[in-house]
Amino acid sequence: IMFSGNCNTSKCFCIGSIIVNVCGSGSAQHNSINIFESYKTINATKFSFQAFSSIKGNTPNETIAQLQEYASARLKHLGRGGARRAYLLSSRKVLKIAINEKGIQQNNAEIEISKNAKPDAMITKVYDYSKSDSCWLICELIRPVNNEEEFFKYAQYDLSDVIAALKEFKKFQNSGGKVTKSYVDDLFLWNVWQTVNDANIAIFDLNKIDHWGINVDNKLVILDYGFTNQMLKKVQDDTGEFKDFL
């Protein structure tokens, strides 16, 4: 989702699958602007994490409504997808709040994957979340990769070559082979494979440039990792498509 404001600069970033253009009018120039500075224009002093995290309604829908009301009155609203809204919490963190049951499920998926991820996993990190109902989570702010050229700058591979390598590793594993660091023989591809394999992320979901981003530490990461191989298998069973990605 792309949003535009009325000032003269453009600042774009991603929260999961939500793409946001803050204070922009027209196309964003990602290379020329440090989007992580955008917090300087936001006053979040009225936001109390203690008050926010203690909100609890009588039903999940009531809780969600109260959380959204509290956050929207105090934080910069970045955008929404079909299941969650996102708010800028700080210069490095984003607050995502579910708007329905699907949003809670997506939060749960990201929470579990992030909790079990290795320290160097190439995913958007989850810093905190609602332990009682997963209605909200706090994750890192990510800038989307601009284009194939920028992806190559960070990966030293074209995205198509990364996808081809991952599919080969998956095929080898499915045939009974063990994909090891020495088998992969490349540190970047090994890190990507470990992240994808450990989290059971569908390789198909990484096949678009806008599914990759750069974090505040200037590292390449996967933006949205809630689409698993089980979900892809269900799509494949229903449609007959994407067989070569399983």
pLDDT score recorded for residue 169: 96
**Does the global pTM surpass 0.75?**
no
C-alpha distances (whole Å) from 49 to each of 75, 102, 170 are 12, 24, 42
pLDDT score recorded for residue 230: 58
Query: Which of 111-120, 122-131, 149-158, 217-226 shows the lowest mean pLDDT across its residues?
Result: 217-226
Q: What share of the chain is helix, strand, coil (3-state, %, to 5)?
A: 45, 20, 35
**Residue the block writes with tokens 């990364």:** 162
d(CA 151, CA 214): 9
Instruction: Give pLDDT tens digits for 150-203.
Output: 999 999 999 999 999 999 999 999 999 999 999 999 999 999 999 989 888 888
